[in-house]
Amino acid sequence: MDHLVLVARNVETTLAFYEYVLGAEIRDLEGWRNGTQEYPVLHFGEWKVNVHPADTDAAPRADQPVPGSVDLCLRWDGPIEAAYAHLAQLDVPIELGPTAQEGACGWGRSVYFRDPDGCLLELISYEDENPRA
């Protein structure tokens, strides 16, 4: 994957969530705030997530951009119980998990939760030897 676009109801709240909860690096924030950039960007290593306000006129864009319209799975390096504990420590409500889930690299264990706009997020770990047990 190269990048994806996340549609946000409140860009500042969305950026803070992804930085604080998932450790994203925020880029182009000041440029977006002062109008020299169209949107801020979240970086997860080599992965890039553009954050567009729902009411943006940036082009090209989704035909009907709606906050909460992305489901995103990120790989968690470590046991899924550590991801669960991390989210619980930050008072992020867990929607489901840990549970066995098939991901891009085979079977792993996942935890599901939501961002401030209601986008479904999944953290998956491939650390367990028998994730379906």
Helices (H), the chain: 11-22, 29-33, 80-89
Beta partners for residue 6, in sequence order: 51
Q: What is the mean pLDDT of residues 43-72?
A: 82
Q: What is the mean pLDDT of residues 76-100?
A: 95
Q: Does the structure show a pLDDT above 90 at 106?
A: no
Helix, strand, coil abundance in the chain, percent, nearest 5: 20, 40, 40
Instruction: Classify residue 72 as exposed, middle or buried by CB count within 10 Å of its CB (0-12, 13-18, 19+).
Output: middle
Closest CA to 110 of 98, 121, 102: 98
User: Which one of the listed residues 46, 81, 122, 127 is annotated catalytic?
Assistant: 122
Whole-angstrom Cα distance, residue 63 to residue 79? 38
User: 19 vs 61, which has greater pLDDT?
Assistant: 19
Active site (annotated) includes residue 19: no
> What is the value of pTM for the model shown?
0.78
The pLDDT value recorded for residue 67 is: 83
Residue 11's pLDDT band, with cuts at 50, 70 and 90, is very high
Residue 61's pLDDT band, with cuts at 50, 70 and 90, is confident
Domains observed in the chain: 3-53 (3.10.180.10), 71-125 (3.10.180.10)
Asked whether 29 and 66 are in contact (CB, 8 A), the reply is no
